[in-house]
Structure 1
Amino acid sequence: MSNLQQSYNAGQTKGQAHEKAEQWTESAKETAHSARDKTANAAQSTKESAQHGQQQASGFIQQTGESVKNMAQGAVDGVKNTLGINEKK
């Protein structure tokens, strides 16, 4: 094989290697962008879920507080009735 043919083949191989490297780089970029998008979507979903859970917990605590308050008032009224000091004027 002549030096000219060897140089041509080497240049062709180098060009093919460069093209493959560009394809791999582009594929890696696409994979990274996809992973970033999926992570962002998962984070948003988690945030929304946490906010919903916080709202539910807040409502539950408020309802429980109202129930305890009503039971305590009922107990106070019961004691007053027993002692005869719950007369309404």
Structure 2
Amino acid sequence: MASRDQSYRTGETKGRAEEKTGQTMGSVREKAEAAKDKTHEKTQEGKDKTYETAQGVKEKTSSTAQSAKEKAAEAAQAAREKAEAGKEKTGGALQKTGEQVKQMAQGAADAVKHTFGMGKDNEDVGDDAPSYKQQGYNKD
């Protein structure tokens, strides 16, 4: 009968070993699943944080680009206004210079006409004004 008892104890020991192995494997499996879940969770958190950071950088870059675009538009408008003011100022100066040149040319033409006796001696000043000869001037 020793063999039956021994066989029973062997079976009992084997059963306990299998149960213990099953428990250990279950525990290892649970720990592996927990580690896997934690790793997945941390990975997802990292992805989310990276996405948020990228969005922040994108928004800041867009804002900076918009600001630069607005400043460039303002600078261009100021340059246009300054150029227009310069154009008006230059146009006024050119017109004034043109008038002066025209008056000088007319004065020179009148002087030449008077020198050669072709000028209007007394027509502009009236009939009772003295002529050049009466004033003591000689046209020659």
TM-score by length of 2: 0.61
The structure with the greater share of residues assigned to helix is 1
Q: What residue is the counterpart of 1:48 in the other structure?
A: 81
Q: CA deviation at 1:84?
A: 2.1
Q: What residue is the counterpart of 1:13 in the other structure?
A: 46
Identity %: 37
The number of residues matched between the two structures is 89
Q: CA deviation at 1:80?
A: 1.6
Write out per-residue CA displacement over residues 11-70 of structure 1, whole angstroms, 9 at most, x where no aligned residue.
110110011011001101110110011011001000000000100110011011111111
The structure number with the bigger radius of gyration is 2
Question: How many Å separate the matches in 1 of 2:54 and 2:38?
Answer: 24
Which contiguous aligned blocks of 4+ residues in structure 1 show a shift greater than 3 angstroms?
A: none
Q: What residue is the counterpart of 2:26 in the other structure?
A: none
Q: Does residue 122 of structure 2 align to residue 88 of structure 1?
A: yes
Question: How many Å separate the matches in 1 of 2:86 and 2:107?
Answer: 31
Q: Secondary structure at the match of 1:88?
A: coil
Q: Secondary structure at the match of 2:48?
A: helix
Q: CA deviation at 1:85?
A: 2.3
Q: What residue is the counterpart of 1:71 in the other structure?
A: 104
Provide the alpha-carbon RMSD of the alignment: 1.2
TM-score by length of 1: 0.93
Q: Relative contact order (alpha carbons < 8 A, sep ≥ 6): 1 or 2 greater?
A: 2
Question: How many Å separate the matches in 2 of 1:76 and 1:4?
Answer: 105
Q: Secondary structure at the match of 1:80?
A: helix
Unaligned runs of 5+ in 1: none
1:20 partner amino acid: T
